[in-house]
Amino acid sequence: MFDTIDFTPERYDTLRQNYRKWWDGSLGRSLVALTTYGHPSPRKPSLHPMLSFDNSWDFSISPEQFIDACDYHLSTQRWHGEAFPYCSMTEFGPGVMAAFLGCTPVNGSSTVWFQPPREDIPIEELHFEYDDTNPCFRRVLHMYELAMEKWHGQVVVGMVDMGGILDVLSSFRGVENLLLDLYDAPEEVLRCVKELQEIWFRYFDTFNAVMAPEAQGYSQWYNMYDEKPGYILQSDFSYMIGPDMFDIFTAPELASSAARLHNAVYHMDGIGQIPHLDSLLAIDGIKGIQWVHGSGTPAKENWDPLVERILASGKKLLSCCQNPDGSLASVVKDPCQAFIREWGFSADRMEDAKRYAAMHGIEL
């Protein structure tokens, strides 16, 4: 099993213990994921492309070919600190559940969009049902099946980016139409939210059921490890609504979804999400916040008060305050509350990698 990827079950045991200690506050340092790449591989290079945003829905490329390319890519890597072998499924697009329910995926260079079956479908006509025959769903499901056959759990296969519930609904209605629906048809919006949430978990559980028999762990688009199925929840659509509407259309769903997940985190993307922070911090099931200042917003703006509010609530902080060298910004006074996103070094820069690791209290 370990011919191409060097990561043993014993290392997964250590990874699980470190994450448990971090969540309960006893690790004594940040979680730090460090990967080195470009090492010699014990296998021949793959002839196939890596899964990407611009080719994920190209059905001329088979899931078998994507898995082979990923296997070679992983065979050239080594993992340090809290890094681990990870197969990303994010490239099927943010809010991919829309494709499972009938939207058409459109590949781009850095994302995937989802076009509705037809334009301006009245919200009263939208009725969502779980569909396990959809070709987009079958393609993704086959990737999970092949990944488990190939690696038998030695590689953590990330959850696809299922999307926020209102984000998926906006793929069918359009953003402007859905904003009007909040005023004109609030009961219909809440009905759709309820339907989509239940379907979301059916797809989520289906993918996890494929992995569960041999999984050494689980992850998602943020590449954060979890020993049980968890997720980074989001509602990018909520950027455009006020706190009152957030508390009606978003917060209740987030609270009930978080209660069904292990160590749920919220992806708080952009300054339009800041008015919702108090509501988010009040949700007990959300254990951490991943704050991203968003495009078009000065990265050097002082976010100290915002970060301090998050940390004062007792919730974890996901690597939103890193310096260019990967260290934590000074505002994070207690690094034990933070997860530092994966940092990579090429194999010919091992001394730099060692210095970076030492800065965070780990040894290569």
Q: Where are the domains of the chain?
A: 9-359
- What is the model's pLDDT at position 338? 82
Check residue 322 and give its pLDDT.
59
Q: Please state which architecture CATH assigns to domain 9-359.
A: Alpha-Beta Barrel (3.20)
pLDDT in tens, 157-200: 999 999 999 999 999 999 999 999 999 999 999 999 999 999 99
pLDDT of 29: 87
Whole-number pLDDT of residue 184: 98
**pTM (2 decimals)?**
0.94
pLDDT for res 293: 81
Q: What 3 state SS string does the chain have?
A: CCCCCCCCHHHHHHHHHHHHHHHHCCCCCCEEEEEEECCCCCCCCCCCCCCCCCCCCCCCCCHHHHHHHHHHHHHCCEEEECCCCEECCHHHCCCCHHHHCCCEEEECCCCEEEECCCCCCCHHHCCCCCCCCCHHHHHHHHHHHHHHHHHCCCCEEECCCCCCHHHHHHHHHCHHHHHHHHHHCHHHHHHHHHHHHHHHHHHHHHHHHHHCCCCCCEECCCCCCECCCCCEEECHHHHHCCHHHHHHHCHHHHHHHHHCCCCEEEEEECHHHHHHHHHHHCCCCEEEEEEECCCCCCCCCCCHHHHHHHHHCCCEEECCCECCCCCECCCCCCHHHEEEEEEEEEHHHHHHHHHHHHHCCCCC
The whole-number pLDDT of residue 332 equals 63
Q: What is the pLDDT along the chain (364 residues), one digit of tens a residue?
A: 457 898 999 999 999 999 999 999 999 888 889 999 999 999 999 999 999 999 999 999 999 999 999 999 999 999 999 999 999 999 999 999 999 999 999 999 999 999 999 999 999 999 999 999 999 999 999 999 999 999 999 999 999 999 999 999 999 999 999 999 999 999 999 999 999 999 999 999 999 999 999 999 999 998 999 999 999 999 999 999 999 999 999 999 999 999 999 999 999 998 999 999 999 999 999 999 998 887 766 666 778 788 889 989 999 988 655 555 655 655 566 677 888 777 899 999 999 999 988 888 888 8
pLDDT of residue 1: 44
What per-residue confidence (pLDDT) applies to 301? 74
